């Protein structure tokens, strides 16, 4: 067996750290994810460079920001002729595989390259009896997607060449919308689930983006998302409404007799107030989401058990992360996209026996652009100078280098997408502040629309306002903080080569 460590990279889709007990979840327990934290390092400030699926995956694979890899939106796909970390690892003697969600495009120019074996879900994939494209061939795998993805990883581990170290990317579809749990898990999480502190946010004292976004559980989450059907005799019923149309709720005084029926069980629910209905939708959303997470946790346990049983534990770096965070009722929302904390922050657990001390946490700023160089560093391979992150191995060893970055950068390129109406923006976060520039322009990018009005700045004082409810950008008391943060933002954009829209728009 090679002395170089194996790398097992487990990534889910839209799994927020608020739904992991090792991150202090108030809504569920995740004993197997907690095993990684107990035996490894929990990173408390890991951030995504662009809080949506496709761009995050491109950054992880290439070690570059989205303006460099050109995968800026959901509509832009990776050019698989570009170099990526799997190609470097493979050339360096690793056996490489990716199994599960890909979401970087399909076809000869977009399928995975650099992998000895690949078997990926087309597009978002589906939860039950999923289709996979395996080395280009379409196959249907019976079963529940999280189980099937793990089964395929275990089989690949069994079949692998044991003379080489391995790099395995296990990419789960779960818990992405539409939340469709395994039938055996549909009775879990029935107790009332507590709402987060910013659940009843009124979006005042903020730039326009928060109030304009169509991400509210109350008004933008469809009944179809929740396996519910609105009864035709109910007030507010809209004839011909599609399953993905947003359904306006009647006002409180028109709500008498408002009823929803569960599509699966036939159970009937009635409501007297908007608040009751909003609370009910949150409860249903969280139940389904957490049931999907439950299967993820079980299957992470199966992978960890395999490593234990096959003598691989001590020579395998294990990572658990998600392509970005997610709103679980914070600000009244579901979904992601924004630099606001809950969707910006990624869960990031690393178990590295013999190097990282178990049961520890790390406060240093890291991001998904650091992952590729970390893999190469761990493998003892050179880190190409086109990559834009930094290996986190010093942090795993328990030391934060003096010149380690004090910030994380985010840019969301889509503007006013047709479903969620999220505005284009960029910004940085330090431990104390978050500065955001809403440039509200499509920059000619595919998948985006102009027309969301003049740009705006936001500054949040994260020490006093960790929930990010009050923009202090225009408060004279924060003039110095604005100046410092703007200088940091401009230096970071210069360092990575991204375009400072605020200078182009004259809003510097
Ligand atoms: Ca995602």
Mean pLDDT confidence for 66-86: 96
Asked if residues 255 and 271 have their Cβ atoms less than 8 Å apart, the reply is yes
CA distance 332 to 198: 7
C-alpha span between 297 and 290 (Å, rounded) = 10
Structure tokens at 14: 């839209």
Q: How far is the CA of 397 from the CAs of 34, 37, 40, in angstroms?
A: 20, 15, 11
For ligand 1, the distance from its centroid to the CA atom of residue 174, given in whole angstroms, is: 9
pLDDT bin (cut points 50, 70, 90) of residue 447 is: very low
Ligand 1: centre distance to CA 426 (Å): 18
User: Could you read off the pLDDT of 410-426 as tens digits, one per residue?
Assistant: 999 998 888 899 999 99
What confidence score (pLDDT) does residue 241 get? 41
Q: How many angstroms is it from 79 CA to the middle of ligand 1?
A: 20
Residue 467 Cα, ligand 1 centroid: separation in angstroms? 22
* Residue pLDDT, tens place only, 238-258: 543 444 444 555 667 667 777
> Judging by DSSP bridges, how do beta strands 425-429 and 348-351 pair with one another?
unpaired
List C-alpha distances in Å: 364 to 196, 218, 387.
25, 36, 20
pLDDT at 418: 85
Cβ–Cβ < 8 Å for 175, 149: no
Q: Is 497 left (phi over 0), alpha (psi -120 to 50) or beta?
A: left
Q: Are 126 and 413 a contacting pair, CB within 8 Å?
A: no
| Percentage helix, strand, coil for the chain under 3-state DSSP, each rounded to 5 | 30, 20, 50
Q: How far does the centroid of ligand 1 lie from the alpha carbon of residue 480, in Å?
A: 36
Tokens found for residue 49: 């460079």
Q: Compute, in angstroms, the gap from residue 325 CA to the centroid of ligand 1.
A: 8
pLDDT at res. 212: 93
What domains, with CATH codes, occur in the chain? 408-504 (3.30.1120.10)
Distances (CA, A) of 370 to 243, 390, 466, 504: 39, 5, 25, 29
Residue where the block lists tokens 């408390």: 44
Q: What is the pLDDT of residue 277?
A: 86
Q: How far is the CA of 508 from the centre of ligand 1 (A)?
A: 32
* Beta strands 268-271; 258-262: pairing state: antiparallel
Q: 303 C-alpha to center of ligand 1: Å? A: 22
Please give the pLDDT value at position 454: 87
Name the token pair of 93: 């003697």
**How many A from CA of 1 to the centre of ligand 1?**
35
310: CA distance to ligand 1 center in Å?
32
CA distances from 277 to 90, 216, 253, 431 (A): 53, 13, 13, 37
As a whole number of angstroms, the distance between CA 141 and CA 281 comes to 32
What's the whole-model pTM score?
A: 0.96
Strand pairing category for 41-43 and 360-362: parallel
Pick the range with the lowest mean pLDDT from 39-43, 251-255, 469-473: 251-255
Residue 13 Cα, ligand 1 centroid: separation in angstroms? Answer: 4
Q: For tokens 């003892």, name the residue.
A: 380
From ligand 1's centre to the CA of 465, what distance in Å? 27
Cα(327) to centroid(ligand 1), Å:
12
Q: What is the distance in A from the centroid of ligand 1 to the CA of 215?
A: 15
Give me the helix-helix angle, 274-309 and 31-39, nearest 10°.
Answer: 60
Distance of CA 372 from the midpoint of ligand 1 (Å)? 18
Report CA(53)–ligand 1 centroid distance (Å). Answer: 4
* Cα 199 to ligand 1 centre (Å): 22
CA angle 468, 471, 474 (to 5 degrees): 160
Structure-block tokens of residue 448: 């985006």
Measured in Å, residue 14 CA sits from the centre of ligand 1 at 4
- What's the CA-to-centroid distance between 309 and ligand 1, angstroms? 31
Between the CA of 343 and the centroid of ligand 1 the distance, in Å, is 10
Find the 312 Cα to ligand 1 centroid distance in Å.
29
**CA nearest neighbour of 260 among 250, 178, 187:** 250
**Residue 237 pLDDT:** 56
Question: Distance, CA 72 to ligand 1 centroid (Å)?
Answer: 14
* Mean pLDDT in residue range 84-103: 98
Report pLDDT digits (tens) over 119-164.
999 999 999 999 999 999 999 999 999 999 999 999 999 999 999 9
pLDDT in tens, 292-324: 999 999 999 999 999 999 999 999 999 999 999
Ligand 1 centre from 348 Cα, in Å? Answer: 14
Cβ–Cβ under 8 Å, residues 431 and 45: yes
Cα(448) to centroid of ligand 1, in Å? 18
| pLDDT level of residue 1 (50, 70, 90 thresholds) | very low
Cα-to-centroid distance, 56 and ligand 1 (Å): 8
For residue 77, the CA-to-ligand 1 centroid distance in Å is: 15
Alpha carbons within 13 angstroms on the beta-carbon side of residue 289 total 26
Tokens of 203: 């979006």
- Judged by DSSP in three states, 396 sits in helix
Establish how many alpha carbons lie within 13 A of residue 98's alpha carbon, considering only the half-sphere containing its beta carbon.
Answer: 27
Q: Is 315 exposed, middle or buried (0-12, 13-18, 19+ CB in 10 A)?
A: middle
């Amino acid at each position: 067996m090679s002395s170089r460590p194996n790398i097992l990279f487990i990534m889910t889709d839209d799994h927020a750290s608020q739904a992991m007990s090792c991150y202090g979840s108030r809504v569920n327990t995740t004993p197997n994810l907690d095993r990684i934290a107990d035996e490894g390092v929990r990173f408390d400030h890991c951030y995504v460079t662009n809080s949506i699926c496709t761009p995050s995956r491109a950054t992880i694979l290439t070690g570059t920001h989205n303006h460099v890899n050109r995968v800026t939106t959901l509509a832009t796909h990776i050019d698989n002729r570009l170099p990526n970390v799997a190609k470097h690892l493979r050339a360096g003697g690793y056996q490489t595989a990716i199994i599960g969600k890909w979401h970087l495009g399909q076809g000869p120019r977009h399928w995975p390259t650099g992998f000895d074996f690949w078997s990926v879900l087309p597009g978002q994939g589906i939860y039950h009896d999923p289709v996979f494209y395996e080395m280009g061939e379409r196959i249907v795998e019976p079963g529940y997607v999280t189980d099937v993805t793990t089964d395929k990883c275990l089989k690949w581990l069994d079949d692998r060449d044991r003379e080489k170290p391995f790099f395995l990317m296990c990419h789960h579809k779960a818990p992405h919308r539409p939340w469709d749990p395994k039938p055996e898990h549909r009775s879990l999480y029935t107790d009332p689930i507590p709402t987060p502190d910013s659940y009843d946010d009124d979006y005042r004292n903020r730039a326009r983006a928060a109030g304009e976004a169509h991400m509210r559980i109350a008004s933008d989450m469809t009944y179809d998302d929740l396996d519910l059907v609105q009864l035709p005799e109910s007030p507010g019923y809209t004839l011909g409404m599609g399953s993905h149309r947003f359904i306006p709720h009647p006002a409180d005084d028109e709500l008498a007799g408002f009823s929803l029926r569960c599509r699966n069980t036939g159970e009937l629910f009635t409501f007297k107030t908007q608040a009751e209905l909003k609370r009910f939708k949150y409860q249903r959303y969280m139940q389904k989401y957490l049931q999907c997470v439950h299967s993820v946790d079980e299957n992470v346990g199966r992978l960890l058990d395999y490593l234990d049983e096959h003598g691989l534990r001590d020579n395998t770096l294990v990572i658990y992360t998600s392509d970005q965070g997610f709103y679980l009722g914070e600000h009244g929302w579901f979904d992601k996209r924004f630099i606001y904390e809950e969707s910006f922050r990624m869960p990031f657990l690393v178990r590295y026996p013999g190097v990282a001390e178990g049961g520890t946490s790390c406060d240093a700023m890291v991001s998904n652009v650091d992952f590729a160089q970390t893999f190469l560093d761990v493998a003892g391979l050179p880190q190409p100078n086109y990559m834009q992150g930094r290996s986190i191995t010093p942090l795993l060893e328990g030391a934060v280098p003096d010149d380690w970055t004090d910030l994380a950068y985010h840019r969301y390129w889509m503007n006013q997408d047709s479903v969620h109406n999220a505005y284009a923006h960029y910004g940085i976060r330090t431990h104390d502040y978050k500065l955001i520039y809403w440039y509200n322009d499509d920059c000619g990018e595919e998948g985006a629309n102009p027309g969301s009005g003049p740009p705006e700045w936001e500054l949040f004082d994260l020490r006093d306002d960790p929930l990010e409810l009050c923009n202090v950008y225009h408060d004279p008391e924060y003039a110095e903080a604005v100046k410092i943060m703007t200088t940091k933002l401009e230096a970071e954009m210069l360092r990575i080569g991204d375009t400072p829209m605020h200078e182009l728009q004259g809003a510097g």
